[in-house]
A = this chain, B = another copy of it.
Amino acid sequence: MPRPKEFIPDEALEKAMQVFWHKGYEATSMEDLLEAMDLNRGSLYDTFGDKRQLFLKVIDRYCHGFVGEKFSLLDQPGPALPTLRLFIRGMIEGGLADPQRRGCLIANSVMELSPHEKEIAGTLRQVLKLIEDTFFRVLTRAKQQGELNNGKDPRALARFLATMMQGTIVMIKAGASADAVNQTAETALTILD
């Protein structure tokens, strides 16, 4: 009996994500979102709540969709360490290829909001934990398969890789050259040897 929506919520959420990713939370106005999502105020507020709630939904989508999809590659059986290396190089290549240098929505949001928005900060911390844990699993598997030196600590390495990724994102956003970023990544990866 209700009148059907004239938009697909998930598609609208995708558009909202692009805007937040590109401009950041504060710098994104509801006007921006309405235009990008191609719907009107009432529909937006009815469907997604206010700006913060919408943003939380966007973060959730980014986490489960974008991040989850990419990182699930690491949990597939087969050689662990080479896959991990390829994954990290691919991640960096992707970041460098973006002409807008938007970096990573998670890192952007941590830097902009974590100190002030406790609820959002909690969500973001969970995502980072998820990333660390994925690295941990693949490193543990690498160790079991004899690909990783037995003296190495998978937890420490997982944290190291996660931190390194975030640092690389900062450098990419700062405008570092592809050469410098790649050299840094290769330097970091030597720690797995």
A170 in complex: contacting residue of B26, B111, B180, B187, CB < 8 Å: B111
Q: Mark A91-134, 1 if CB is under 8 A from B, else 0.
A: 00000000011110001101110111000010011001000000
| A166 CA to B165 CA, complexed, in Å | 10
Q: What is the oligomeric copy number?
A: 2
A115 in complex: contacting residue of B173, B188, B191, CB < 8 Å: B173
Is A1 in the interface zone, CB < 8 Å from B? Answer: no
Is A34 in the interface zone, CB < 8 Å from B? Answer: no
Closest residue of chain B to A114 (Cβ to Cβ) is: B173
- Please, how many residues of chain A have a CB less than 8 angstroms from a CB on the other chain? 49
| A163 CA to B176 CA, complexed, in Å | 10
Whether B128 and A115, one on each chain, are in contact in the complex, defined by CB atoms closer than 8 angstroms, is no
Q: List 21 A-B contacts (CB under 8 A).
A: A24-B26, A27-B116, A101-B115, A103-B111, A107-B170, A110-B173, A111-B111, A114-B174, A125-B174, A128-B174, A128-B176, A156-B187, A159-B187, A160-B184, A163-B168, A164-B188, A165-B167, A166-B166, A167-B170, A187-B191, A191-B191
